[in-house]
Amino acid sequence: MIKNSKEIEKMRLAGTLASKVLVMIEEHVKPGVTTQQLNDICHEYIVNELDCVPAPLNYRGFPKSICTSINHQVCHGIPNERILKKKDIVNIDVTVIKDGYHGDTSRMFFVGKPSIQAKRLVDLTYEALKIGINTVKPGATVGDIGNNIQEFAEKNHFSVVREYCGHGIGKDFHEEPQILHYGNKGEGIELKEGMTFTIEPMINFGKREVKLLPDNWTVVTKDHSLSAQWEHTILVTKEGYEVLTIRPGEYI
């Protein structure tokens, strides 16, 4: 769970490379493109340009190299021949493996000009991520992170998905601890310097209930309301945190 300095350097590299995929793919997210095309572009870039392994591919049977979740899809959407349309919102979730270590990050994209509703949800979900990240420091607890995210989302009349959460990450895609995006202050494990984990709140415009589609991967909102998610991989430092997957020009 606690990473040493050599492991942290490898995590930094994996995180930087994962962030590059999201920067690269942005110009390709536009009306008329399919999520399968986005998957293929990311796959080629990850394998041939970055010399990395796309972690989702064949992970527990997942058939693609990235996840693409559109509109009311919450997470784990499988790229396919669906064509993106104006006003769609889409989360692209990327995890790469470099030298045995994982970098995991996702962000929301607007396809053309979004509706006022969609923009508000996406922007607020990003703020919720930042609030969660800014909670991280040695001595804080997992419950502190979740509570701060939940309070912010619910104060703005949105809901937090509870069935899926952030997770420890390193040599393994998913390690301890689990990072819930709801909860009570002071509860859960205490954060310690050298921990690495993801924070990845999933926020719904409507109710928090979700369901799993028959493909056994794609998660959608039960009420078909829009859902948004942002994700970063975080390192707990002596004084606070470091965002290992931060993109150029991004300020947390």
Q: What is the CA radius of gyration of the chain?
A: 17
For residue 163, tell me if it sits in a domain. yes
H-helix or E-strand containing 227? strand 227-229
For residue 252, tell me if it sits in a domain. no
For residue 250, tell me if it sits in a domain. no
pTM, 2 dp: 0.97
Within 10 angstroms of residue 227's Cβ, the number of other Cβ atoms is 30
For residue 220, tell me if it sits in a domain. yes
How far is residue 131's CA from residue 52's CA, in Å, rounded to a whole number? 31
Look at residue 140 and tell me whether its pLDDT is greater than 90.
yes
The model's pLDDT over 34-51, given as tens digits with 9 standing for 90+, comes to 999 999 999 999 999 999
For residue 248, tell me if it sits in a domain. no
Q: Smallest Cα–Cα separation from 53: which of 62, 67, 42? A: 42
pLDDT of residue 31: 98
**Mean pLDDT in the chain?**
97
Q: How confident is the model over 118-128, as a mean pLDDT? A: 98
Q: Are 202 and 164 in contact (CB under 8 A)?
A: yes
Residue 230 DSSP label: -
Confidence of residue 1 (pLDDT cuts 50, 70, 90): confident
Residue type, 70: I
CATH number of the domain at 112, please. Answer: 3.90.230.10
pLDDT of residue 94: 98
- Cβ-in-10-Å burial (0-12, 13-18, 19+) of 162 comes to middle
For residue 211, tell me if it sits in a domain. yes
pLDDT of residue 120: 98
Q: Which domain holds residue 187?
A: 5-243
How far is residue 31's CA from residue 228's CA, in Å, rounded to a whole number? 19
Q: How confident is the model over 235-252, as a mean pLDDT? A: 96
For residue 249, tell me if it sits in a domain. no
Residue found under tokens 């693609």: 64
Structural domains in the chain (count): 1
Residue 110 DSSP label: E
